[in-house]
Structure 1
Amino acid sequence: MVKANLTVLALIIGAFFIPLSLTGCTESEESAGETRVFEIDNTEEVFGRADEQEVTVKKHYMILNPPEDLVELKELVEKYGKNHRIEGEVQGTGTKSRVFYMYFYRESDDLPRDWQPDESYLNTDRLEHHKNDLIASITWSDADPEKKYHSYNKSKEGKILKRMYFIEDRLVQ
């Protein structure tokens, strides 16, 4: 009887632990290498004083598993920019023109996917402290609507190994 109870207990434990251990083996979207782009919360910047002629809009994004090929990276941010337009979010007032910047960062130990700016008294952590992880950008304005794309291949420490600069679809350098 005791042997039968131990066998049943072992089967019950096995029935619970085997599926649980196998769920850890399945790949998530991020670990499978799928590329994903999303806006980093609480990082949008809009500024321009009343006496200035421009309003500047800066938005910041994270790319999970970015492509290593710089042309593919440019195409990824270009497609993202077309699908997530920011021009309508800030209206020019009167004679003011608007300048737009979209910055794209890679995930790293210093800049995890759930990163948030920190303005606490003893600790300040802003996006400008993470330029090592900036891998692409788009710039344009109302006055010059041609979009300029920069894409970078950087070492883990942030040293630029290769860069490409495009104006629309023309490779400039």
Structure 2
Amino acid sequence: MKLKILVLMIGTFFISFYIIGCTKNEESSGETKIFEIANTEQVVGNKDEEVVTLRKHYMILNPPKDLKELKELVEKYNKNHPVEGDMNVIEGKNRIFYMSFYRESDDLPRDWQPDESYMNTDRMEHHKHDLIASIIWSDVEPQKEYNVYDKSKEGKVLKRMHFIEDKLVE
């Protein structure tokens, strides 16, 4: 009788852990993940202007704390997800590309969407305190500039690193 109870308790224990393990999703696993924030892409420039700017905004779940690792992460993401083809432009125009990477926060949850309602506006520019990395380059200046930030929870910059390609500049 005691053996049956012991087996039943151990079985319940393992089944509980198995169920918990199966319901654990990638967001809670601590895995780093990058995705584009929907409905935030901006193309700025009129047909009579010489410059057209593409701005894309991304969320990084569980970003690395080390700023060099963060730079390498966004660099690799950019290489694997090129944005130059996302903007068809009239010949002779200069294209400028901005890629902005944000951390998840209470103000900027992973399912955040811009809000342009009558009494409330909530746009990407209202979330600069969660901006932790950026890349900028253009057709004229193809060298990519990277900025990576370590910020406090309130958004105060604790440390910043600026790279041109792989070279750290101050």
AA aligned opposite 2:147: H
**AA matched with 1:112:** P
What per-residue deviation string (whole Å, max 9, x for no partner) do you get for residues 54-108 of structure 1? 0100000000000000000000000000000010111231211100000000000
Structure with bigger gyration radius: 1
Once the two structures are superposed, the pairs formed by residues 156-167 of structure 1 within 5 Å of their partners are: 156-167=153-164
Unaligned runs of 5+ in 1: 1-10
Give the superposition deviation at 1:133: 0.3
CA shift for structure 1 position 122 = 0.7
CA offset digits 1:99-118 (Å, max 9, x no partner): 00000000000000000001
The residue that corresponds to 2:93 in the other structure is 96
Is 1:112 paired with 2:109?
yes
Question: Which residue of structure 1 lines up, in the alignment, with residue 67 of structure 2?
Answer: 70
Partners of 1:130 and 1:22 lie apart in 2 by: 39
TM-score (structure 2 length as normaliser): 0.87
Q: Which amino acid aligns with 1:35?
A: T
What is residue 129 of structure 1 aligned with on the other side? 126
CA distance in 1, matches of 2:76, 2:119: 39
* SS of residue paired to 1:46: strand
Q: Report the equivalent of 2:4.
A: none
Runs of 4+ more than 2 Å apart: 18-28
SS at 2:92 equivalent: coil
Q: Percent identity?
A: 66
Deviation at 1:49, TM superposition (A): 1.2
1:36-75 correspondence runs (5 A): 36-75=33-72
Aligned alpha-carbon RMSD (Å): 2.0
Q: 2:83 is aligned with what amino acid?
A: I
Q: State the alpha-carbon separation in 1 of the partners of residues 39 and 47 from structure 2.
A: 24
Give TM-score, length-normalised by structure 1: 0.86
Q: What is the letter of the counterpart of residue 144 of structure 2?
A: K
Following superposition, the deviation at residue 19 of structure 1 comes to 4.9
Q: Deviation per CA, 1:107-156: give whole Å up to 9, x if none.
A: 00000000000111011110100000000000000000000000000000
Query: What residue in structure 2 maps to residue 4 of structure 1?
Result: none
* Separation (CA, whole Å) in 2 of partners of 1:125 and 1:147: 29
The answer to whether 1:23 aligns with 2:46 is no
